[in-house]
Amino acid sequence: MRVVALVPAAGMGVRLGENKPKAFVHVGGSPMLTRAVQGLIDSGSVDDVVVMVPAELVAETRALLPVSSVPVRVVAGGAERTDSVRAGLAAAPDATLVLVHDAARALTPPALISRVVDELRAGAQAVVPALPVTDTIKSVDATGAVTGTPDRSGLRAIQTPQGFDAELLRAAYAVGTQATDDAGLVEMLGATVHTVLGDALAFKITTPLDLVLANTLAARRDT
């Protein structure tokens, strides 16, 4: 079984506000992309990595990537995250299992990556890391008035890497609809998506506050 990790890193990082594509923003002295790829390699669970970056950054990205026995390739991403993942899938025709892992989850522990791959190897077709939600979640209408309070015990916050049987993910992407994550596309095909326990350290660095937290955590980890 060939496990290929696709790393979407072509986003602009508008919410972070650092005036450069987010995957190239440094956390504890290294670009988020470099850290995310190193985590995949350190898991020992991945055979091949494909990173998707803004087209104009493909050449310079190569110098940022860790050198190891795991080959890491760089391809151009697209305008939306789904376009970037589609480009990565096209570059990995030999994959039997695919992980999709946001570069922005730069501090993801390698053990979480291995948990996802182990679940796939045990026969699951789709696997996502999940954490219980700690806030109460409410639905609201267009005016902001609350319309409901779903039972929190049945809700999970979903992280990456998300893992899939490669053929299933290709079929999901062939349909061409939109979803906020890759598993959402697979759910639309009626496939069962399994959860494994996520990890708070796999949080997505999205806002300036997240970056402060990530830098603090990286400084601790690297000493």
Q: How far is CA 36 from the centre of its chain?
A: 9
- Which span sits near ligand CTP by CB under 6 A: 74-82, 124-132, 175-183, 193-201? 74-82
The CB-of-106 to Mg ion minimum distance in angstroms stands at 15
Choose between 107 and 124: whose C-beta lies nearer to ligand CTP. 107
Choose between 3 and 205: whose C-beta lies nearer to ligand CTP. 205
Choose between 115 and 203: whose C-beta lies nearer to Mg ion. 203
Residues 78-137, interacting with ligand CTP (CB under 6 A):
78-81, 84, 102-104
Fill in the per-residue mask, 31 to 70: x = in contact with ligand CTP (CB under 6 A), - = not in contact: ---------------------x------------------
**Residue 60's binding partner out of Mg ion, ligand CTP, none, with CB under 5 to 8 Å set by partner kind:** none
Residues 132-191, interacting with ligand CTP (CB under 6 A):
none
Which two tokens mark 45? 């669970």
Number of Cβ atoms within 10 Å of the Cβ of 201 = 17
The CB-of-105 to Mg ion minimum distance in angstroms stands at 13
Torsion of CA 66, 67, 72, 78, to 10 degrees: 40
- Site residues, Mg ion (CB under 5 A): 11
Choose between 125 and 159: whose C-beta lies nearer to ligand CTP. 159
Choose between 25 and 95: whose C-beta lies nearer to ligand CTP. 25
Choose between 104 and 117: whose C-beta lies nearer to Mg ion. 104
Q: Side-chain half-sphere of 110: how many Cα atoms within 13 Å?
A: 11
**Residue 80's binding partner out of Mg ion, ligand CTP, none, with CB under 5 to 8 Å set by partner kind:** ligand CTP
Q: Which residues of the chain form contacts with ligand CTP (CB under 6 A)?
A: 8-16, 22-23, 52, 77-81, 84, 102-104, 204, 206
